[in-house]
Structure 1
Amino acid sequence: MDFARSVAAQRRLHELVPGGAHTYARGADQYPADQAPVIVRGQGARVVDVDGNEFVEYGMGLRSVTLGHAYRPVVDAVCRAASDGVSFTRPSVRELEAAERFVEQVPTAEMVKFAKNGSDATTAALRLARAATGRDLVAICGDHPFFSVDDWFIGTTPMDAGIPRSVREATVTFRYNDLASLEALLDAHPGQVAAVFLEPATCTAEPAPGFLEGVRALADRDGFVLVFDEMITGMRWSAAGAQAVYGVTPDLSTWGKALGNGFAVSALAGRRHLMELGGLSTGEPRVFLLSTTHGAETTGLAAFLAVSDAYRERDVVGVMEARGAALRAGFRAVVADHGLEGVVEVTGRPSCLVFGTRDHREVPSQAFRALFLQEMLARGVLAQSFVISAAHTDDDVERTLEAADGALAVYAKAIAAETTDGFLVGPPVAPALRRYAEPRRS
């Protein structure tokens, strides 16, 4: 494939936008050299770049698109909302409709407040927890990659430049599926932890029996606020989130991504006595919770309502699970055909699959990841992961497996040579969150 126009557009983006993209995970450093497509349009599970190349896409808007790109009922609902005006000096009727729908869809939520991005929701949850408990520390699951762009989380990453030490020291970590590590943390900071944040599950790990229940019991014993980050699991595990799948109710939960099928809408939801600290019915000092100009503009809420309608009309999660299971089985068969078991793997819930790449020593390798991405892109598949949508067809899955067959043939040759030299064009891809920006080709 020819990527000349994408390369030129990416070069210009670097001149105008720090990092060349508005999300680190979308950056050119996440793709092989000179193979970072700049997208023009998408339909269903296919996208087209500025060079006219068509790809089957996975990851689907950083896991935000479950119904497919340009899903007509959502687009139509957004257009109708926009034609009636998007922002007023008073709440719109869609704010009521969306709130009623959300608490109906998520029975564990007693109240909800909408925003535009997930970080606003998670930071609002932390502020509520600190106000409710009078404590300062926040405990986060250190195995989970991302919670917020705000200082309380970014201070725990390699990109902590510009964040005061006092803020960094107020965040402590524990390990997923390791209840003892959380108990030890609480013992080390008695009565100091305001909130515990974790994803109830991830693309690579399900909760061990009793783990989430144990965290819930610790919250009840210790008095911290339990927050489930449902940004990814919400409407991908079930319409009511992973909390409904596993039967454990958090005090607060944060939502985004799939709520709007790619349109900007997020939510903070949870128990009334906590949420009302940011309302008008409290006798306690009020919390500045979420107050944004665009938090409740009508198009995002219309998108959520249309997405919710789609989930009512058919089993969207079931479709993703079925297609994902077929992709997983087919990919594992192709891996076996090339003798790459233990080197290339696919893991996770069928609706949220990720792949792993290892070198000839079976050590995780960014160079071999770049090689796999390079060969998949050359064969018309854009896949940082195998996170699927309900728009992926049997044909999309088949095309993906054909591309994987060709890509893994090259991968096997590189494994036999014990190097990506001579196979990979340019440097390896790099972790999105890292301390230094190594020079690399765009």
Structure 2
Amino acid sequence: MTESVDLSEKFDRSAHLQRRLHELVPGGAHTYARGPDQYPEHMTPVLTHGNGAHVWDVDGNRYVEYGMGLRSVTLGHGYRPVVDAVTEAVRRGTNFSRPTLLEVEAAEDFLSLVPGADMVKFAKNGSDATTAAVRLARAVTRRDHIAVCDHPFFSVDDWFIGTTPMSAGIPESSRSLTLRFRYNDLASLDAALTSHPVACVVLEAATATTEPAPGFLEGVRRLCDRHGALMVLDEMITGFRWSEHGAQSVYGVRPDLSCWGKAMGNGFPISALAGRREYMELGGLGTDAERVFLLSTTHGPEAASLAAFRAVVRAYGTERPIERMEAAGTRLASAVNALSAEMGLDEYVRVEGRPSCLVFSTRGPDGTPSQEYRTLFLAELLDRGVLGQSFVVSAAHTDDDIDLTVAAVEAALVVYRKAIDAGSVRGLLRGRPVAPALRRFAAPRRLP
């Protein structure tokens, strides 16, 4: 069990740079999920580099990292074949005024993995792809409303962010066009589809903690067909974590359109919109119908990310990274849950979800999810060399990494047990609790 270190020594330079980031960047980070409010106060490492499953901060601290670039890294940081492929591509030039051979090869690679898709178009981030899917569905159906599942995040654009607590600046006319339905609840989807003519239904096939109930995805497909709506499957997380063929292959459903990103580039910025030819061609030159401005970006086909994607495809064909992630995740979840049960904390701390995409739940004495107790758990893990808002693994996580994490969790649970017995984190939690990333007002609530 590792001993904890005085925070003023351990995070001194990180704290200085975090203050500087706040002066330069709204919120102190370029992604809300990476913000300092997502980590314990005074414990916000500013990183310098990573290798495999490890990262280092500006104070020289080394961590086993989980979450892995918001689930975008599955092969490990600095994975050599990807780095080599990108280096060679960059040496030959990165952006041109005509399509390249690399674009043909990358599209062929993608479509060979996703047999339910006839055409693909690459972009740089997930929101590009999901918003393009919504626009295309609206053009196909000549309808304005869309139905979106109650999952955490789909896009930075108005059609989705208007449904969140951070809807400031988004016109009511946009917000009112997005209808919500509940996952694994076909009746709620049917009600949404019946209430208005709907262009498309947007959902993830599964989440880290929720599998589709028997018949649910098949039911979504039937309802879309019955009501004339397109089925749009978000594969941002499930693609290359559930399978390189996507969750659609795992669960046996064919969407009209699917949206990809994150792990397809092992951290490089690449996303994709894929789908049936009859719809995708509306954004091309092969139709007499009115054209759709589908995706047209300067950097969508840049060479570095396409080369990274092709190297990822090769790795998935030879190294079985999903099996390795599932083995590491299964081992970690089993060990942590056994420790939690042994200490009588299994009602309060539990690891759950698909082994390649694990999360941990943290509950207070009343048995409900608690930000204060989550913060306490995060702080104790950070203090012992484990960085992560989840236990999302990569294929680079070794048995030694899992063992170090389990030892850190064991020490953290000793403190957690004290807090549960005391009925409060007071005296154990240093600083304010973490806060939801998407919330209406900025200031995180402090302990009374």
TM range (shorter): over 0.9
Which of the numbers 132, 146, 165 marks the counterpart of 2:153?
A: 146
Number of the residue aligned with 1:278 = 283
- 8 A Cα contact 1:140 1:196, kept in partner: yes
Q: 2 CA distance for matches of 1:139 and 1:219?
A: 10
Residue 183 of structure 2 is matched in structure 1 by: 176
Quote how far apart the aligned CAs of 1:345 are. 1.1
Q: How does 1:2-151 map to 2 (within 5 A)?
A: 2-142=10-150, 144-151=151-158
Q: Deviations over 1:65-93 (max 9, x none)?
A: 00000000000100000000000000111
* Alignment-mate amino acid for residue 54 of structure 1: R
Equivalent position of 1:262 in the other structure: 267
3-state SS, counterpart of residue 199 of structure 2: strand
Structure 1's unaligned 5+ residue stretches are none
Per the alignment, residue 300 of structure 2 pairs with 295
CA shift, 1:318, in A, is 0.9
Q: Distance in 2 between matches of 1:186 and 1:313?
A: 43
Residue identity matched to 1:250: P
Contact 1:29 1:440 (8 Å CA) reproduced: no
CA–CA distance in structure 1, aligned partners of residues 229 and 341 of structure 2: 47
Equivalent residue number for residue 156 of structure 1: 163
What secondary structure is seen at the aligned counterpart in 2 of 1:322? helix
Structure 2 residues without counterparts, runs of 5 or longer: none
Q: Which amino acid is 1:180 matched to?
A: A
Do structure 1's residue 221 and structure 2's residue 229 form an aligned pair?
Answer: no
Runs of 4+, deviation exceeding 3 Å: none
Find the aligned partners of 1:258 and 1:223 in 2 and give their Cα distance.
Answer: 32
Q: Residues of 1 paired with 2:204 and 2:75: CA distance?
A: 22
| 8 Å Cα contact 2:125/2:269 also seen in 1 | yes
With normalisation by structure 1, the TM-score equals: 0.98
User: For the residues of structure 2 that align with 1:344 and 1:135, how far apart are their CA atoms?
Assistant: 45
In structure 2, the partner of 1:391 is: 396
Aligned pairs for 1:368-383 (under 5 A) are: 368-383=373-388
Q: Distance in 1 between matches of 2:192 and 2:273?
A: 26
Per-residue CA shift, 1:259-310, capped at 9, x if unaligned?
0000000000010000000000011110001000001100000000000000
Within 2, Cα distance between the matches of 1:221 and 1:260?
A: 36
Question: What is residue 258 of structure 2 aligned with on the other side?
Answer: 253
> How many Å separate the matches in 2 of 1:258 and 1:300?
12
Q: Which amino acid aligns with 1:60?
A: M
Instruction: Measure, in 1, the Cα distance between the counterparts of 2:444 and 2:347.
Output: 32
Q: Deviations over 1:294-330 (max 9, x none)?
A: 0110000000000000000121111111111000100
| Structure 1 residue 47, shift from structure 2 partner | 0.3
Native 8 Å contact 1:55 1:382 kept in 2: yes
SS in 1 for 2:133: helix
8 Å CA contact 2:345, 2:417 repeated in 1: yes
For 1:173, what is the secondary structure of its paired residue?
A: strand
Count of residues in correspondence between the two structures: 438
Q: Secondary structure at the match of 1:419?
A: coil
Give, in whole Å, the separation in 2 of the partners of 1:166 and 1:65. Answer: 37
- Give the conservation status (yes or no) of the 8 Å contact 2:433–2:445: no
CA distance in 1, matches of 2:130, 2:294: 11
Matches within 5 A, 1:347-362: 347-362=352-367
Q: Which residue number in structure 2 is paired with residue 416 of structure 1?
A: 421
The answer on whether the counterparts of 2:147 and 2:193 sit within 8 Å (CA) in structure 1 is no
With normalisation by structure 2, the TM-score equals 0.97
